Amino acid sequence: MKQNLLDDIQNLLLLGAGPSGVAPNTYHAMSRNVLGHLDPYFLKIMAEIKHGLRELFGTENKVTVPLSGTGSIGMEAAFVNVIEKGDKVLVLENGVFGNRMEDVASRLGAVVTKEEFEWGTPVVPARVKELLEQDHYKLVAIVHAETSTGVCNPVEEIGRMVHEAGSLYLVDCVTSLGGIPVEVDKWHADIAYSGTQKCLSCPPGAAPITFSDAAMQVIENRKTKVPNWYLDMNMLTHYWRGATRVYHHTAPISMMYGLYQALYNILEEGKENCFARHMAAHRRLVEGLERIGLELFVAPEFRLPDLNCIVVPEGITDKEIISELRDNYSISISAGLGPMAGKILRVGLMGYNATETNADRFVSALEEILRAHGCLAEKAA
């Protein structure tokens, strides 16, 4: 190789759907000397990571660990451990990641019922109640914070219904953990997973996950082996919580250092303070967007504070906006997915980057771009 491409990486303000910005002390943590994955001091770090994750997940679950892999491996592990061929699964879908849940469950031979809700609106609890009365499902799955639309789903209300129906409850918390309250035990969630690269402000590479005792009983009493060796919680628990740690795989040591520091940062700030900071940044963003006459895709009562979707105004394309923000303002945001491609811009105010200053910087840059293209409403001129 003639040139080291790493020398020319641009320092972008990451305001997309993920990954988010990383705090300097987290980068520093990841540069520390590597230890062995069974080293006694590394085991202490593992124990503290588990404690921090339980705090953020709002759970007492003993099996609360980070898996080695990105957020998608959390989804894969959630399904592959509890689903066997022929099991009935209900997926509540109002975005891309509900569709992905259906795909993963179907590949395992589950009989999947996918109930679709309009994108940009939340799952409707009354309809879920009807479905639970019509049939019994081994597992009901929902996305808490739908990254593709910026909608927050009513997971607590639905969790009560699922619990009363005697089904396992699976909640995707990839875009919510660390940015808004997550209360796994209060929601009666049996499995919840996340990723490090969103509101935790850590690089992609680990997937926090938690299993209730009921979920672990299902896993331990399967009729067939978990079909994925790498994600088999029967084996992984012996590494993560055994009195005598049993080698399973080589954990990504530096990644775990980063996760440890990221959790430390949030808990040192205080969970409630962290959530309030995300909300303040969101409100500042909304105020700025409304000032220049732009429309948000989701109604105020259903919006996520950490992932905001803006309707692309007439007279310019999403690709033009995204390109100009990156090239001229060093700001990176995300395009819409699926049926929302070309229609919305996705702006993340997550983790380290969730500040009012960053909200102002983005709105100012967007306003300049739209004025240059002559596509701001007259009232905003």
Domain identity same for 68 and 12: no
Domain identity same for 238 and 281: no
For the chain, the domain total comes to 2
CA nearest to 64, candidates 182, 199, 179, 153: 182
Model's pTM, two decimal places? 0.96
Side-chain-side CA neighbours of 338 within 13 Å: the count stands at: 14
Domain identity same for 239 and 352: no
Rounded Cα gap, residues 77 and 348, in angstroms: 26
Of 1-10, 36-45, 265-274, give the range with the top mean pLDDT. 265-274
CA angle 165, 218, 167 (to 5 degrees): 10
Domain identity same for 243 and 328: no
Domain edge (last residue) among 211, 233, 267: 267
Domain identity same for 175 and 223: yes
Domain identity same for 297 and 178: no
Q: Tokens 């997915």 correspond to what residue?
A: 337
Domain containing 337 equals: 5-18+270-380
CA nearest to 18, candidates 158, 157, 171, 176: 176
pLDDT of residue 144: 98
Domain identity same for 284 and 171: no
Mean pLDDT of the chain: 95
Contact 321, 366 (CB under 8 A): yes
Contact 21, 353 (CB under 8 A): yes
pLDDT over 50 at 381, yes or no:
no
**307: phi then psi, degrees, rounded to nearest 5:** -135, 110
Rounded Cα gap, residues 361 and 285, in angstroms: 10
Domain identity same for 35 and 144: yes
pLDDT of residue 380: 43
Rounded Cα gap, residues 147 and 338, in angstroms: 12
Helix residue spans in the chain (DSSP H): 24-30, 40-57, 71-82, 96-107, 125-134, 155-165, 213-220, 233-240, 253-269, 271-291, 318-329, 356-372
Q: pLDDT, tens digit, for every residue of 70-117? A: 999 999 999 999 999 999 999 999 999 999 999 999 999 999 999 999
pLDDT of residue 301: 97
Q: pLDDT, tens digit, for every residue of 181-218? A: 999 999 999 999 999 999 999 999 999 999 999 999 99
62 burial (CB, 10 Å; 0-12 / 13-18 / 19+) is: middle
Domain edge (last residue) among 244, 267, 290: 267
Rounded Cα gap, residues 141 and 349, in angstroms: 26
Q: pLDDT, tens digit, for every residue of 253-273? A: 999 999 999 999 999 999 999
Domain identity same for 158 and 242: yes
- The pairing of beta strand 344-348 with beta strand 334-335: antiparallel
CATH of the domain at 93: 3.40.640.10
Domain identity same for 188 and 43: yes
Domain identity same for 212 and 316: no
Domain edge (last residue) among 236, 267, 298: 267
Contact 203, 196 (CB under 8 A): yes
Domain identity same for 261 and 291: no
Quote the tokens at residue 196: 């490090």
Q: Give how far Cα 201 sits from Cα of 168, 179, 323, Å.
A: 30, 10, 24
pLDDT over 80 at 240, yes or no:
no
- How confident is residue 377, by pLDDT bands cut at 50, 70 and 90? low
CA angle 361, 366, 372 (to 5 degrees): 130
CATH of the domain at 335: 3.90.1150.10
Residues in the chain: 381
